[in-house]
Amino acid sequence: MKYLIVGLGNIGDEYANTRHNIGFIIADALAADLGVKFVTDRLASRAEARYRGKTVVIIKPTTYMNLSGKAYRYWLTVENIEVDNSLVIVDDLDLDPGLLRLKTKGSGGTHNGLNNIIEMLGNNEFPRLRVGIGNDFARGFQVDYVLGKFTKQEEKLFMERIPVAIEMIKSYILSGATNTMNAFNNK
């Protein structure tokens, strides 16, 4: 059985350690945990690992956030992976910083990466791990906030939450969405 884990973010040093790149940060941590490294491939940086008898393909799209759906759909097709065996890791303004929620479907809201995936798939029924980044910004400053660097306090919080996100991803691979949601979503 094969799984596709997709960390959303933007490529380039100017986006490193920004709230919008938490998907990339968690994908990097997962790859390190599984002992694999990313290589540049078509539309994404890609790593492949084995985890408890399952193949795990991890990608970080190089298409920039607004075209994430192109890389996601491409790798689903190339790897012959069903959407139900994929997981998109995404920042979420509607959740408090560090809060982690697994969902199997939902709207993209104001998130251009999710909206592009919905557009490319033709529906909103794909699993996603929502990582709360909060919404502590003045009206009209959403872009500055999501593309802003973590504060020292946020950085400390997220470093504590990343291992939990990895546990959730591994649980998703081994036990599925429902069991993972029941075990982690309200903690």
In single-letter form, the type of residue at position 173 comes to I
Does 111 participate in catalysis according to the annotation? no
Catalytic residue among 6, 7, 10, 20: 20
| Residue the block writes with tokens 């020292």 | 152
SS3 content of the chain, % helix, strand, coil (to 5): 45, 25, 30
Structure tokens at 177: 């969405």
Bridge partners, 44 (sequence order): 41, 61
Structure tokens at 68: 């994430």
Residues with active-site annotation: 20
